[in-house]
Structure 1
Amino acid sequence: MSQHPLAYLKKYDAKAIAQHYNQRPLLAVWRLIQIVYMFVGLFVGLQLDKWSGQEDAKLPRRAAQLRRIITKLGPTYIKVGQALSTRPDLVRKDFLDELTKLQDQLPPFPTSVAIEIIEQELGKSIDQIYDYIPDLPVAAASLGQVFRGRLHTGEEVAIKVQRPNLIPTITLDLYVLRLLAALTQPLLPVNLGADLRGIIDEFGSKLFEEVDYVNEAKNAERFATYFSDEPRVDAPSIYWRYSSKRVLTMEWIDGIKLTDVEGIKAAGLDIDELVQIGVMSGLRQLLEFGFFHADPHPGNLFATADGRMVYIDFGMMDQLEQTTKEALVDSVVHLMNKDYQKLGYDYVNLGFLTPDVDIPPIANALESVLGDIMNEKVRDFNFKVVTDRFSGLMYEYPFCMPAKFALIIRSVVTQEGVALSLNPEFKIVQVAYPYVARRLLTDESPGLRQRLIEVLFKNGKFQWSRLENLIKIAKSDDDFDLVPTARMGIQFLMSDEGKFLRKRILLALTEDDRLHTDEVARIWQLVGAELKPNKLWDAAVGAIGSSLPRAIATALPLAFLSGSGS
């Protein structure tokens, strides 16, 4: 197999790709003609159906036509179709059913070609590598196809083989997309189109990482390590001896696709619990680990018979910096506090607004857009609602989408789409808020402790209602346990670090020249049933006990000196 001139690239390089195709303009022009021709045919067909009054009757045929167009256009466009296939609230069912087939029902390439790639990559004959490999793949996706094989040692394995000629297809598409971005940017509002090529470059970087299966294998192991404390989330093990840049051999895991609602029910699995696992795992990836799956469409998520959720396909992952994770938590905290001024500055820290922007008008606009999220309209909240509301805001104010956030939003929106496909009544805020509240109350990191203090105090005054709301929200999370939280709270209050908070709480009890017995009584009503006197005593003893050895160690020399001096 002859190598493409850009095959040497280990990472996405927009400059090198542009230099290559600038010298071959006919390739780009021909590709652009193909794209326009295919989509114009679809739009003309839809218009003719409308004029002839056969729009509804012919819609399934047009949906199939769209799926065929995307399939013919290749990996880049298939990725877009996959993202849309998870949005039942955006795409009508006729098109949704067809787009779902893009996840793993794409045309396979010949098995003989796959075997040739395996032997070339691993340097052995196919019989030396595997005890058994079937004639047909079990799934064919945008970048490769998967065979269910068996090793000579008896383990059932999934063998992922990359499609041939990927580099020419991907690089040409990315080049054309950057050209289209440059042409259409002047037609778009400046605040929306300013970083359009940056978003394409970010996508290109991730696509290049995705075609490197060594990188994917490392990502899978790292993901599994992060979730080692969560038995309900899993990832397949990697067989490094039988893996390379274009071949990946991993543990075979039997599972039910998350789109198969009937199959999930037939297996006796709880759909709401699966939704909870999926969303919680997504939140942990973004806000705890900072390492997240950027392509969690239903073809990459399975439910096992014992109720686990298994992630596969770790090619498209991303890493958030600590400052970005903290800014994301800040934005949720300020939203919970209804502090829209600080929320505006969060958007500056996250790169959505420039540092020189005038915040007060934006804070007022944010309040008008998000002001009812914590009230009774919380039931109507999802990312589709926020997207719709923000679209108007972005026209009026200088918001700009940072390239990195294109993947974050894609990940969150896709996760929400998967949850909506399982449960149309699902609201992500019902899981997200309890999770953030629980983390604020239980996390021992200094950063989150500082954010908890920020929630509980406003202008130096203790906010009893905020503590009450925080506990209410956290208690709606089934994983929240008040006893260890109480133990950690007591331990923190007794420490040097908790000295400030200890004083502030004592002052809060007598603020405004009165004892705040009513506020304390309301909070006790919330926690009293779980914090029985014996449990609270155990928590206090546990908290004190953990700091006792250090206290004794400090006191012993003093006791010895006082004893020797007597």
Structure 2
Amino acid sequence: MTSVRRKEPKPGAGQYRARSRRILRFAAWHLAVTWWFELVLPRIGLGKIAERNRAKRMRRFAQRFHDLAVELGGLMIKVGQFMSSRLDVLPPEITAELEGLQDEVPPVPFAAIRDLAEAELGASLDTLFTSVDQTPIAAASLGQAHRAWLRPDDVADTGLSAVVLKVQRPGIDEIVEVDLAALRKVGRWLSHVRLVSDRANAPALVEEFAKTSREEIDYLNEAANLERFAADFSSDDRVSTPAVVWERTTRRVLTLEDVTAIKITDSQGLQAAGIDPAKVAPVFAEIMFEQLFTNGFFHADPHPGNIFITPNLEPLPDHPWTVTFIDFGMMGEVSAKTRSGLRKLLIAAAGRDGKGLVAAISDVGVLVPSADTAALERAMTELFARFGGMGFAQLRDVDPHEFRDFAVEFGDVVRSLPFQLPENFLLIIRAMSLTSGVCSSLDPRFNLWDSVEPFASQLLRDERGNLVRDVAKEAFDVASLTLRLPKRMDALLTRVEESSLPVTNPRLERQMARLIRTTQRGASVVVFAALIVSGAVIRADSQVMGNVLMFASAIPLLHGLWVGRSRR
């Protein structure tokens, strides 16, 4: 076996400095333009000029950033991809122009890819694989993928033949650090702009982006993410993932089972395989919901290039196809606290509960604790009343004037609130934005509520179980206190009587006895209420258990009545 280790060509320090200067000049110029049109002109009475030219300015900015990102590559592509997915906050002039960055990345010549792969694996590709296709099947901002075939002895060991060889772009480590340094400067600039700093901690967001980017260029980390994700769905027939060929994997080279199938948004391909695209949308949405709200470990880059629909060779009655995920470099984790808040948010959204939705948003940490939420609660209630049950197709048919009237009515309310983005929340927003876009592409009539409501119902049943456990624990604690309280009162009286203070007040003793009886009655009432509420809640799912709990509630009720009468 011949070991080949060739030094990769790297740009010089001068090229890195030029790259950083280009990024900073671009950011400084457009921040200055935005400051002039959005802050200065409105203050001197020329706000109409800014309003009239806003769409054109946004389009020009997006076009220039698109050109800069394609030319520079690196993290600029990732920044553009994130911006293209923010359909919720960025104007369509920007998102539409940047959509092409999802796939529009020029490939690296195969000779450079071969050099890097051989240096990492310590041997010639010809000795490691039967063959490697020199034309990439995917070219991304941080790496690119080539189809390859394992040698017969590796086929016997792994059970795999066709694989995908994923290799980093040469010099990407250094480029990432240069880009992050420039982005940190931009973040510090933004921290001094009150319009931004009141709503987000820009330097903290850059650091979160830096952490995610560094993880994404570590292919050992991606392989570990893949196996963790596969374990989460190991018992779910709807989901599949590629296997990792660990013997051909390093920090900068990743070899995976070739699971290429029908791209999830290829409606013609799905129909040719006998798969109804409209049936794929709700399944995909539910799988993403489970990652976010149940598992807490989610695919943060579910764009169409990373999701396939694979027809099963032996179709199961309920699952004639599976949703196949690839590219696990960008993953997110949801803490237990945030996941609990998101579950409440989902339940509130499904129930069109504006007040509950705002409370859940606060629990998640998107609103600072001091925020006055009364106006936002009214806005959310009004939003649900007007548009709550509509799908995307129906929303497109709504009179634009109605949207504009709503935006005028409540836009200032939303903008004035002190929003913040908790850790990992950008990834959550990205994942849900891409999920929504994929589902709408599969079915223009897709109604997100149709997927949210059954999932929220299941969460509500789970929350009922948690409520019963909490109520039962509370009842047990109260009952224990009730049993211990008379002894503790007697001990207290004994200590007082044995002290140097002469306490022989019959009135005090009568008051203490009355306090004990009152506490016992109160505890009995609490236990009675806990049991009857638990029974009523559980009865919806289990009539027998619910009836038992409700019947048992009579015992503490009778005890409370008996205590009240027996010592009068």
Pairs within 5 Å for 1:172-321? 172-189=178-195, 192-306=198-312, 307-321=321-335
Normalised TM-score (structure 2): 0.66
Q: How far 1:422 moved relative to its partner? A: 2.1
Q: How far 1:123 moved relative to its partner? A: 1.4
Cα deviations by residue, 1:130-169 (Å, 9 ceiling, x for unpaired):
1110122111111111111100134100110010111222
Q: How far 1:440 moved relative to its partner? A: 2.5
Structure 2 counterpart of 1:380, from 379, 390, 407: 390
CA contact (8 A) 2:131 2:149 kept: yes
Unaligned runs of 5+ in 2: 1-6, 34-54, 156-160, 313-320, 397-402, 474-528, 557-568
CA contact (8 A) 1:105 1:139 kept: no
Q: Take 1:502 and 1:296, find their aligned partners in 2: how far apart are those partners?
A: 50
Q: Take 1:65 and 1:277, find their aligned partners in 2: how far apart are those partners?
A: 38
Instruction: Tell whether 2:446 aligns with 1:426.
Output: yes
Q: Take 2:543 and 2:126, find their aligned partners in 1: how far apart are those partners?
A: 63
Q: 1:60 to 1:460 in 2, by over 3 A?
A: same
Q: 1:95 to 1:372 in 2, by over 3 A?
A: closer
Letter in 1 for 2:284: G
Aligned position for 2:127? 128
Pairs within 5 Å for 1:430-449? 430-441=450-461, 446=466
Unaligned runs of 5+ in 1: 6-19, 42-55, 454-458, 472-485, 508-566
Q: Take 2:465 and 2:127, find their aligned partners in 1: how far apart are those partners?
A: 51
SS of residue matched to 1:380? coil
Q: 1:40 to 1:425 in 2, by over 3 A?
A: farther
Instruction: Tell whether 2:362 aligns with 1:370.
Output: no
The structure having more radius of gyration, on CA atoms, is 2
Letter in 2 for 1:328: L
Q: Take 1:278 and 1:3, find their aligned partners in 2: how far apart are those partners?
A: 42
Q: Take 1:92 and 1:343, find their aligned partners in 2: how far apart are those partners?
A: 25
Aligned position for 2:168? 162
Q: 1:111 to 1:217 in 2, by over 3 A?
A: same
Cα deviations by residue, 1:374-425 (Å, 9 ceiling, x for unpaired):
657323377999x979864442222222242111111111111121222233
CA contact (8 A) 1:243 1:249 kept: yes
Q: Take 1:39 and 1:399, find their aligned partners in 2: how far apart are those partners?
A: 21
Letter in 2 for 1:284: E
Q: Take 1:140 and 1:39, find their aligned partners in 2: how far apart are those partners?
A: 31
Aligned position for 2:417? 397
Structure 2 counterpart of 1:171, from 156, 170, 177: 177
Question: CA RMSD of the aligned region, Å?
Answer: 4.7
Q: Take 1:444 and 1:122, find their aligned partners in 2: how far apart are those partners?
A: 53
CA contact (8 A) 1:191 1:395 kept: no
Cα deviations by residue, 1:429-476 (Å, 9 ceiling, x for unpaired):
22112102123226796379769x9xxxxx99999xx99xxx9xxxxx
Q: Which moved more, 1:211-220 or 1:127-136?
A: 127-136
Aligned residue pair count: 447
Q: 1:449 to 1:351 in 2, by over 3 A?
A: same
Q: Which moved more, 1:366-375 or 1:300-309?
A: 366-375
Q: 1:151 to 1:95 in 2, by over 3 A?
A: farther
Letter in 2 for 1:440: L
Pairs within 5 Å for 1:407-426? 407-426=427-446
CA contact (8 A) 2:105 2:141 kept: yes
CA contact (8 A) 2:350 2:452 kept: no
Q: How far 1:176 moved relative to its partner? A: 1.4
Q: Take 2:334 and 2:545, find their aligned partners in 1: how far apart are those partners?
A: 29
CA contact (8 A) 2:73 2:105 kept: no
CA contact (8 A) 1:233 1:277 kept: no
SS of residue matched to 2:421? coil
Normalised TM-score (structure 1): 0.67
Aligned position for 2:338? 324
Aligned position for 2:25? 33
SS of residue matched to 1:244? coil
Letter in 2 for 1:199: L
Cα deviations by residue, 1:336-382 (Å, 9 ceiling, x for unpaired):
56766665554443222334x16xx40x2232222156657323377
Q: 1:29 to 1:83 in 2, by over 3 A?
A: closer
Q: Which moved more, 1:393-402 or 1:224-233?
A: 393-402
Q: Take 1:347 and 1:367, find their aligned partners in 2: how far apart are those partners?
A: 11
